[in-house]
Chains A and B, each alone.
Chain A
Amino acid sequence: MNYLIALAVRSAWNRRYTLSFTLLSIALATSLLVGVERLRHDVRESFSQSVSGTDLVVGARASPVQLMLYAVFRIGEATQNMRWTSAQKLAHHPAVAWNIPLSLGDSHHGFPVLGTSLDYFTYFRFGDRQPLRMQAGKPFAGVFDAVLGAEVARKLAYQLGQKIVLAHGSVALEGAAHSDKPFFVVGILAPTGTPVDRTVHISLTGMEAIHLDWQGGAPVPGFSIPPELVKKFDLTPKTITAQLIGLKQRGDVFAMQRAMANDVDEPLMGVMPGVALDQLWEVVGQGEKALLLVSWMVALVGLGGLVAVILASLDARRRELAILRSVGARPRELLLLLALEGVSVTVGGMVAGLALLAALLFFGTPWIEARYGISLNGLCFSGDDLVSLATLLGWILLAGSVASLLPGLRAYRLSLIDGLSPRT
């Protein structure tokens, strides 16, 4: 058997130019299948890591998934704002233990700017109930203080004391910068592996201050309030984007949702993070299944090509089969030989596919992390992941082996028919 494997590999290597195209398509299919699996898993994990211990994410009534994506993950379309008065009412509600107001809309070099309260640094949790830690400095105290997420500080090489200018909107346009009111970095957060890392945090008063002399999304021409005089105005926000709420009793969450929705002043939507994410995955899951199916189609096409190429070459190899029979190979062994050729190309394709995926992940991961805050684990698999990876690879190998049996069977038949004297 060992020798048959060596013979098969040599034979395949000898025809590597014709076989290389089928090997490439098998490689592509493998990359796709393993890649999709990896992405599915990492995206889910990354998202569920981003918020912990929060009972409700409150915002204006709209799509729960959109609120989650915008307020917690800071990607996607901006949502309607909710009134500050409603937020205060909730903050003082007897069932509420803590609350964190969130105000989004500005950006700095592509990173979202978040206006929030000091409670953010006390109560916000991520991953497995982990609190935020500072790696340098402290939370904001003054109106124009800013605290950077770890990725922002690293990417832009900012230190404590750095002066930064925030831009209005998610993209920096000419004239849309708040350049008259710069901020100063007073703290840098330790890395969390969540969208917190790529956020610039300022106080709600700071957020109000930079928009004081703006009306309707643009600066009023000829009218500018210098930073020193900002405190003369009332810097209480009028609206915020969303509010994170923690309850004293987690079982109250439904009653709170109802109370919010039926509020006479401003009906609000309270989203349970876990539930909203599950809904998101259900929708995304359909697309993933479609993607998976397409990937399997690619694999089948690749294997089909492999079978076709090997079958096509068989007629020219009848002499070779007769020689092998003459030195004592049995028809069964010739079946194995041809099948092993197909299997060796399949294995080669799988290895190439994994290598391709590893390279893609190596170069793509930093970009995805910076852009979406999703951290990918590269090609490292562990525990359950490893089992599902092995299963997936096993299926591909099985498919390749079964497909390779076709030329094997033909070789078997031919060698029986031809014996020692093929009709070539």
Chain B
Amino acid sequence: METLSILKSVRRNKIGALLLVLQIAISLAVMSNCLSIIQDNLAQMRRPTGVDEANVFLVSNQWLNKPADLGPRIQADLDVIRSVPGIMDAEATNSYPLHGGGSSGGLSLKPDQKVTTRTAEYYVDEHGLAAYGLKLAAGRWFTAGEIGEVGVHESENPASVIVTAALAHKLYPSGNALGQVVYWTPAASSRIVGIVERAQAPWAAWTQARAEYSAFLPYHYIDNWVMYVVRSRPGQMGRAIPAVEERLFKLTRQRVVATETFAEARNSAYFDPRSTGVLLGVLCAVLLVVTIFGIVGLTMYWVGQRRRYIGMRRALGACRIDILNYFHTENLLIAGCGALLGILLGLGGNLWLTSHLELGRMSVAYICVGAVIIMAISQASVFFPAMRAASIAPTEAIRAL
């Protein structure tokens, strides 16, 4: 009965209702997608690297004038770093998780396979496990005896390789990766001797799919520009960093050194998703405010237009609560239509988004929760104008007649 009369009055103000419906629909579609992107980015940023992030810091070392005896120099540096109090272990390597740049290779199960699985390559020696702070899930780590030497343009084929659980699962979904032989090229193969629980690739910040495809190769990495991955004992990093730098410069000043903590490295690796999140968050907040103002404004306009009608109803015996009810029901009907349209728009928009960005699909439940929230907001914002309508005195409203 009440609903019928509401529908009638809405029909007489089609444009106003349409504006409200559109506004709610667009707001819901945009906000749910924005929040879904933000949530996706947050989830992406929270993924663990597998490294002991709280205690690891990174020393980038570049020698001046390209000395010839790089191998012994790097070894001397490592000895000095490991002797600094508070240092657990250190490693000279080509890259680390979230570094951005690194080496990669294609692994296959058979020598003549055409499509391979691309994996990051980290060159590590027997200290690698402790220096990165990785967790061994199966098999063993490298022993000192099997470590070779590799320069930037050299690649011997190591007899053994250690892979992450994710890469092992990709190669051998049935879980029997340990002990298998995998191929880098038709002629070069390695046996999987160990599996680490987790180690992200250097480019993990930009990719979901290949984020944990990493392999460790048993090499001393010899290059003019190396990364020292250094792990301190818990709570001692603050004192260890300047001590390490000082000792390195004591060996020779003929170098360019840049140190950052792993937390800093993570921070800069996730710069893009973070700034995108802030930007979208601000847009969402503005959109929310605008939408609330819009709903309040349109309802107030409506109430103003129907003062006489309200006054008459009041004069004929309607209580304030009836008037309040009337506007809330009306708003619920309109906002409901808007929310339905918004769900369709939002899901459609999400399809477009997921085809353009590497994003998880937004679930229907997610946007439905958004729809309920926006309807609640709409109900809340109609309260003030409805209260004003309800407080119209019957005499005042009909005096003009």
* Chain B binds chain A: no
Chain A interface (Cβ < 8 Å from any Cβ of B): none
